[in-house]
Amino acid sequence: EAGVTQFPSHSVIEKGQTVTLRCDPISGHDNLYWYRRVMGKEIKFLLHFVKESKQDESGMPNNRFLAERTGGTYSTLKVQPAELEDSGVYFCASSQVNPSGYTFGSGTRLTVV
Amino acid sequence: RKEVEQDPGPFNVPEGATVAFNCTYSNSASQSFFWYRQDCRKEPKLLMSVYSSGNEDGRFTAQLNRASQYISLLIRDSKLSDSATYLCVVNQAGTALIFGKGTTLSVSS
């Protein structure tokens, strides 16, 4: 079974630019989550999709972040315009109903300079 | 107060040692509890769920004390390959996972 795939693995962009992160969940997993780890801090929740619907987006830091999951398959997370404090590792995870079945992707390391 | 608090360590132990990590959580409505392991520059991976009665998986034993809102992880006979960051994670039904900052373990020969 293929795992959760994230692309790109690394991205270095300048402040003010736009970056789009992609996550392909495990096939059949309706739940898709985005998390972020900023250096020195704990991993924090950003948002949760159930199929194509946003179930909970309470963790999204501000309106520069836009997540989509058209068709309920892969998801994108766009940051526009990027700021220095957006640097960190962005993890995607997917699961079936039971939260203990989370599988994380290997993350996208975003550096804003 | 952080939702999930852990001693960041690092814990430096020799091979074969027994080491224990503790974690406290602030939300009494938390229902599910986990220990995740994260290797350097890798994604978190589920190590084990934690049940009220306590549970064991090989050299790893997890305990939960709901009254004290306290979770523990015991690793016996430490191996070099156990070196990693151990994340205490909780959640309520239908909500996202809440992570602690992690405890770093370094096992040396």
Burial of A62 (0-12, 13-18, 19+ CB in 10 A): exposed
pLDDT confidence of residue A1: 63
Q: What is the pLDDT of residues B63-107, one digit of tens each?
A: 999 999 999 999 999 999 999 999 999 988 777 899 999 999 999
B45: contact with A, CB 8 A cutoff = yes
Strands A43-50 and A31-37 turn out to be antiparallel
Q: Which of B43, B95, B96 sits opposite A106 (nearest CB)?
A: B43
The answer to whether A56 contacts B95, with C-beta atoms less than 8 Å apart, is: yes
Write out the two tokens for B28: 């009494």
- A48 chain-B contacts, CB cut-off 8 A: 96
B66: contact with A, CB 8 A cutoff = no
pLDDT along chain A (113 residues), means of 10: 92 98 94 94 94 94 95 95 97 80 93 98
**Which is higher by pLDDT, B7 or A99?**
B7
Distance between B60 CA and the closest CA of chain A, angstroms: 18
Q: Residue A100 carries which DSSP code?
A: G
Choose from A32, A55, A94, A104 for mutation: most chain B CBs within 10 A.
Answer: A104
The answer to whether B97 contacts A106, with C-beta atoms less than 8 Å apart, is: no
| Residues on A contacting B at a C-beta cutoff of 8 Å | 33, 35, 41-45, 48, 56, 59, 91, 99-100, 102, 104-107, 109
Q: How far is CA B8 from CA A42, A73, A89, B57, B82, in A?
A: 11, 37, 19, 23, 16
